[in-house]
Structure 1
């Protein structure tokens, strides 16, 4: 017997309206009617007096209502008991890099607290390389960082793509003048921490651009930093040009403080991944599911040219 049909009957008897019951149970009136008819067929008796102009239960409906309420109550108690035994608690040692801090970390922590109020979060913000070492050493439970981790001890899944652009303070370079690449390379090029995939990609592109502009490779300066805030402040101060996701300076671009420079090629997008050990506890897997949901929601509410969720 379908307990959902029994719950529908109990709710309908309480609200005495198919429309109100449909709103309460997030269904249509037709679906509510079909559930009640299916329950009547299974029980072999009418529960609703359809000959009456006003809502009324049949005699059998009145008689069976108390039994139906008892069944619904028992099911809810069973669900509560199962949730109590399966509750997520303990401490989640969460490691994130600054790309997460400056995008959807606050949303994630808020949703994690709402879903699992008994779960305590011990947060670490560090470079992706450090987070990887600490996860493999068992010092962190869940890591959100640039790139996955190639290890048979770790589960990695891509969550989001952050398109990268060449960003500079407005007025620092005039795109209309010739020799833009040469003028850009006379200043430091800012990008993420040394040894990361974004930094390696930018270094290769800069070497190619330097060759096109006939600039000796030794004269090109690349400044690396794992700190998004530091990079943004440096370009705000006119220190140089940055190869970073436009997401981090979207407001500055909209206000006219920063501009995207028309330099080709554009560095490859940054891929944010979620990593956890294959032997992680239940609370880690539960927290990982919330992280994916929070990231997907953030991406849906943000312009696609700034960040895009990777399908599960």
Structure 2
């Protein structure tokens, strides 16, 4: 049985239409229809019920789906096991949230180059909501995010949790000695955090929900938050790894009496199926490097 037929079947079942599967597999709806016709002839059963509005699995199609997924996964594992990393070539598109840029990224790229010298990495740095959309539209092979991507089509591998700290310039932080002092400072200083719709932004809103008159300023750039903090402006909720050097050098100071914040989760997210084996191999390497760097 031709695995391309099973691959077409799998993506129609997951995406819900022949046209979506054709786009995912970079072919035409007519070619996808032909693959399904041949598959149904080989099996002697119909695997889809079709009408003008929707495509649905038949009972035999429902029984076939887990087998198709297993066979495609086995194909990918087989290719991965016999291919030489040093001989691999191609382009891998990797998306990362900005906190990764300021911490793990140099080590990740250095090790990727050592293991896969023929692979070119296209790097995209953006917020979690934007990177999710890039994954959904098939513009990224993988991404390091602060949240899962909804749906069965994506696999999320936990990498680390980074404590979120309230930090400020030492001249501002020195005036805060208790919770009341923290709220008093918020009457004079804005709070800076990540862009709207990110987990960190929503957590800051939750933590400060009962503080009257607080001003929350979303920033699209961690570098910009750092710059204004070091200039003596505002208070920020920041990942500990990002501000670790500035805290150690005394250029910023933690404010420990602010309300507790949830840690920043970091996950490697990639599609579950239809991946080239080298993409899986690179994703596994990225996960290993990041997990190692996250160790205390």
TM range (shorter): 0.5 to 0.7
**Residue of structure 1 equivalent to 2:268:** 274
Residues 153 and 278 in structure 1, CA contact (< 8 A), matched pair in contact too: yes
User: Matches of 1:178 and 1:168 in 2, distance apart?
Assistant: 15
Residues 189 and 222 in structure 1, CA contact (< 8 A), matched pair in contact too: yes
Instruction: Verify: 1:175 aligned to 2:176, yes or no.
Output: yes
Distance 1:91 1:171, change over 3 A: same
Give the 4+ runs in structure 1 shifted more than 4 A.
Answer: 82-87
Residues 88 and 286 in structure 1, CA contact (< 8 A), matched pair in contact too: no
> Structure 1, unaligned stretches of length 5 or more?
1-81, 305-312
Residues 176 and 182 in structure 2, CA contact (< 8 A), matched pair in contact too: no
TM-score norm. by structure 1 comes to: 0.64
**Residue of structure 1 equivalent to 2:190:** 188
User: Matches of 2:264 and 2:85 in 1, distance apart?
Assistant: 40
1:99-110 alignment, distance < 5 Å: 99-110=99-110
Distance 1:141 1:182, change over 3 A: same
**Residue of structure 2 equivalent to 1:130:** 130
Residues 132 and 149 in structure 1, CA contact (< 8 A), matched pair in contact too: yes
Instruction: Verify: 1:222 aligned to 2:216, yes or no.
Output: yes
- Residue from 257, 260, 270 that aligns with 2:254: 260
Deviation of 1:287 (Å): 0.9
Instruction: Verify: 1:201 aligned to 2:203, yes or no.
Output: yes
Deviation of 1:207 (Å): 1.1
TM-score norm. by structure 2 comes to: 0.68
Q: Single out whichever of 273-282 and 99-108 deviates more from structure 2.
A: 273-282
1:1-312 alignment, distance < 5 Å: 82-84=82-84, 87-173=87-173, 174-176=175-177, 179-186=180-187, 187-208=189-210, 210=211, 215=212, 219-279=213-273, 280-300=275-295, 304=296
Deviation of 1:256 (Å): 1.5
User: Matches of 2:222 and 2:264 in 1, distance apart?
Assistant: 13
Query: What SS does the corresponding residue of 1:179 show, helix, strand or coil?
Result: helix
Distance 1:265 1:137, change over 3 A: same
Distance 1:269 1:177, change over 3 A: closer
> Structure 2, unaligned stretches of length 5 or more?
1-81
Deviation of 1:299 (Å): 2.1
**Residue of structure 2 equivalent to 1:60:** none
Residues 167 and 246 in structure 1, CA contact (< 8 A), matched pair in contact too: no
Cα RMSD, aligned residues only: 2.1
Deviation of 1:177 (Å): 7.4
Q: Deviations over 1:97-132 (max 9, x none)?
A: 111100111111111111111111111111111111
Deviation of 1:85 (Å): 9.8
Count of aligned pairs between the two proteins: 213
The structure with more radius of gyration: 1
Deviation of 1:226 (Å): 3.1
**Residue of structure 2 equivalent to 1:309:** none
User: Matches of 2:118 and 2:279 in 1, distance apart?
Assistant: 13
Q: Deviations over 1:218-275 (max 9, x none)?
A: x211011231111111211122100111221212211212111122422110001111
User: Matches of 2:178 and 2:104 in 1, distance apart?
Assistant: 38
